[in-house]
Amino acid sequence: MSEYPILDRLSSRGDLCSLSQEQLDQLAAEIRTVLVEVVTKNGGHLASNLGVVELTIAMHRVFETPKDHFIFDVSHQCYVHKILTDRRDRFETLRRPGGLSGFTKRSESVHDCFGAGHSSTSVSAALGFAMSDQLQGNEAYTVAVLGDGAFTGGMIHEALNNCRKDLKLIIVINENEMSISKNIGRFARHLTKMRSKPGYLQTKATTGRIIKKIPLIGNGLFRLIRDTKKTIKNMLYGSNYFEDLGLYYLGPVDGNDERAVENLLREAKRAKQSCVVHLKTKKGKGYLPAEENPNIYHGLPPSDSHRNEKPTFSKIFGDELCKLAAQDERICAITAAMSDGTGLEQFRQQFPDRFFDVGIAEEHAVTFAAGLAANGMRPVVAIYSTFLQRAYDQILHDVALQGLPVVFCVDRAGLNAADGATHHGIFDVAYLSQVPGLTIETPVTEAMLRRSLADALARPTPTAIRYCSGCEQDTVLERFYAEDQSTYDRPGRVDFADDEQPDALIVTDGRVVSEAMTAAELWEEQSGKRAGIILLEHIKPYEQAADFVAERLPQKPIRLILLEEDIRAGGMGMLLCDQLTRRYPERMANKTVHLLAPEDNFVVRERAESIYTTAGVSSDDILRALSE
């Protein structure tokens, strides 16, 4: 007997539409079992997907993809959509090399009309689809699904401001009072107050149809009653945000009640105008650990991932910031809905008056920090690398142009294999290197991260401190930090003596140094030659880094390998090479330079190989460059 008797017999949308309500309830239970089994094994977003099971089932019964368009905000909650379309038999490969993406992906299926990975983009994209369908005379519907957390991002409101009433656009608000951390802000509080009594929509629809059937005066009478009712309601209770924007608002209803959701979606479909459908769901629904701890079960690591007893860099950063804030009342912390992920939860508890979660609003976070700094505070902005790029203009114009002492703690810097191209932190070095007056530091140990943070807070100009996920590596400590780590008067560390003349030189920064170490050891075993390594802890100003490297360049002809896991175009290797060539042309004259970095593309791991191999910066790639 099949473990999933309902799910396994679904081969088309018609099969789904033929199910009874009892069978639909069983289907929801089966899907939740699949989600828990696969996601707890492979890693991924569990709680958010458990919460949208009934909603996704209802969407696929009311609408028909790919003719109709489903656009999921962030799209981390698209797993059920994948199961119900053409990827059920491949769902076990979720987030594995060569397997299904953890987000919607246009190249993966015709049912994924728009890819995502960052928040608050859904309504803008959906508006584009709905408008293009109207211009082309298509009868398709576009459904945007977004959590209430997305509304803390300004892009949603920009899109709503541009919405037209005459589109077949349905905006589904999945209210669960969470993004990754608990939602904050005035809009989140306003949303929880919106209510409609049970049975209201059905009564409203039935009454409307009866009135419209009255000969001659039906339509006019309906409009009169509708407008009068709206006027009275607004006078007594006020209208809500969406109605003020001219959008048809429906809800809220229980988003974990498939029948209620389906009825609401059918009402929205019949309206044939831009609608907002408001649902209230339980994040982690059906799996008690996720219901009780939705923040912990928002994103899970793979079950076979190696767990290190050492604290993560995020934890070290948070602990150290608390110590420094206890000594300096000017220090404050800012996060964009990521207090747990960035290590700031302890700061939030200890210094609530100096902690600011601005929601999913990176642009606002940076300019807000600029305002704090301009008025005497010392703000620290902790944001993942992949999300900080959304605030490039604010970094350049509001912080750097005015020379304000804002500290950017760039978490998850470098390659991040599990979440794929949307979450690699490989672009920040290139765009931050363009910013005049900004210092970039790249600590790879706990002690150096603490020292970088203290120095950045004492610096009168902006600083970016970038560090990877995970923790410090013992092998790196042993090779480069055997001496006192408090020494901080130079841009980097070396693994060879000042009077040594290595046969090749590898210059790198960040955790990819481990690949350099492996390659150097293999090269020495195979050729008997020595490759020295320079590990940079400060990469900008590049003039200082170039001086440090040039002093240690052997006089003899050698191969100079500039290695990084950040994008090649405009990255550390390219800019450092430029400085070396211009400042030290004689020393560089007899050097063969190799730049090893991800090329000008998005790094997507399609095979069962390391992410460094995919990016072209593995120990094997370095060894080939040394041996050429």
Paired tokens of 620: 């094997």
Token pair, residue 301, equals 């690591």
4 Ramachandran zone, left/alpha/beta (phi>0; psi -120 to 50): beta
In a 10 Å sphere around its CB, with 0-12 CB exposed, 13-18 middle and 19+ buried, how is residue 477 labelled? middle
Catalytic, out of 390, 450, 451, 511: 390
- Computed on alpha carbons and rounded to an integer, the radius of gyration of the chain in Å comes to 28
DSSP states of 214-255: STTTHHHHHHHHHHHHHHHHHHHT---HHHHTT-EEEEEEET
| H, E, C per residue of 77-108 | CCHHHHHHCCCHHHHHHCCCCCCCCCCCCCCC
The answer to whether residues 301 and 324 touch, using CB atoms and an 8 Å cutoff, is no
**Active-site residue (options: 262, 362, 446, 565):** 362
Please tell me which residue in 82, 280, 283, 466 is annotated as part of the active site. Answer: 283
| Coil vs helix vs strand at 364 | helix
Helix (H) or strand (E) segment spanning residue 550: helix 542-551
What are the residues whose beta carbons fall under 8 Å from the beta carbon of 365, sequence distance 6 or more? 334, 335, 336, 358, 381, 383, 391
Is 283 designated active site? yes
CA distance 321 to 18: 57
| Strand pairing category for 169-175 and 142-147 | parallel
How far separated are the first and last CA of the chain, in Å rounded? 60
Instruction: Please return the burial class of 89, using the count of CB atoms within 10 Å of its CB with bins 0-12, 13-18 and 19+.
Output: exposed
Phi and psi torsions of 401, nearest 5°: -60, -30
Q: Encoding tokens for residue 235?
A: 């006078």
| 285 SS3 class | coil
Respond yes or no: is residue 362 known to be catalytic.
yes
* Residues 30-65: b if buried by 16+ CB within 10 A, e if exposed: bbbebbbebbbbbbbbbbbbbbbbbbbbbbbbbbeb
Phi, psi of 382 (to 5 degrees): -105, 115
Which are the catalytic amino acids?
283, 362, 390
